[in-house]
Amino acid sequence: MKKITYLLLIILVMASCKSTKNASSRLSTATETTKYLSSKVQFSIPNSSMSINGNMKMISGQRIQLSLLMPILRTEVVRIESTPTDILVIDRMNKQYVRTTYKELSNVLPKGMSYEKLEKTFYDASQPGGKKELTTADFGLSFLPGAKMVLSDLSEKEFEMPAATIPDKYKQVTVEQLVQSILGR
């Protein structure tokens, strides 16, 4: 069940981050000033007592980082970093990573998903009365209905967020190899 949850979360975030070619689809809430957003995240699957906790940080128009943590030990298991042009997934358990572009993922991502839409979804959640419990349907995904990501402790305070670094000992793999590795094939 852990592997399925882990895989679903990676797919969910990758699907959420597809960019569009239309620059006019910028956030309606974005202004010319940089916006910051951070949150605790809890991801869960229906009919399972398992959930994965983590943190999300976002700087508008620049980068979104999602860090998933191992229960109890609170060490990072995976980091997913999305920019308007690419996605980086670092699998710390298997010491491997995937760096891919949105164009390379266009065949597997839901139609209409974009980096801008993901930003807007997170910023809308941070507003008073905003939807803080997001489901696969919110991201245009039809599989595993009822899976959800709950955002809490949202903050718009400014913070530093350097780009993720990949240790030299990590191996670069394809998206397919990462999925197979997680599923134990």
CA distance 10 to 66: 10
pLDDT at 14: 52
- The topology under which CATH files domain 2-19+32-183 is outer membrane lipoprotein receptor (LolB), chain A (2.50.20)
CA distance 185 to 10: 17
| Residue percentage of the chain with pLDDT more than 90 | 38
pTM, entire model: 0.78
**Strand 96-101 with 171-172, pairing:** parallel
| Residue percentage of the chain with pLDDT more than 70 | 76
pLDDT digits (tens, 9 = 90+) for 117-172: 888 888 898 898 999 998 887 777 766 677 889 999 999 999 999 999 999 999 99
pLDDT digits (tens, 9 = 90+) for 108-122: 677 766 788 888 888
